[in-house]
Amino acid sequence: MVAFPIPVASPRVACRIPSIHAGPAPGGQVLTRETADSDVGGGEGHQVFLFNCDCHSFAQVIAQLLKAVPGMTPALAEELAWRVHTNGLAEVYRGGFEECERVARILGEIGLIVQVL
């Protein structure tokens, strides 16, 4: 397992990202099945990926997705939480850079591990 730093908002929690079966594509982007299946955000250019960890409950992840992602529904938040849990990561939002940064910042408020590409 590879340890990643946790956002400052949650310094007491130590999350770990499990190894996943996706690797960097040419250009450095991580490609998974979810990349083509993203249901949230309509913009082009940037993506927000949420990584699995063992330190948050499904309820916490779902609540934070509902808070962070414009247009998120409870059913879609639950589906994305399962994708993250099952595959190690999932694309949870696609849009402009500033909006992706905003979504990632809100997801990271509770220590969720995110990356904007």
- Cα 22 to its chain centre, rounded Å, is 15
Q: What value does the mean pLDDT of the chain take?
A: 75
Tell whether pTM > 0.75: no
pLDDT above 80: residue 112: yes
Q: Domains of the chain: which residue ranges?
A: 14-116
| 14-116, CATH topology level | Ribosomal Protein L30; Chain: A, (3.30.1390)
Q: Give the helix/strand (H/E) hosting 89.
A: strand 89-95
Query: Which ranges in 12-92 belong to alpha helices (H)?
Result: 33-37, 58-68, 74-87
Cα–Cα distances in angstroms (integers) from residue 10 to residues 54, 73, 86, in the given order: 14, 26, 24
Q: What is the pLDDT of residues 67-111, one digit of tens each?
A: 999 999 999 999 999 999 999 999 999 999 999 999 999 999 999
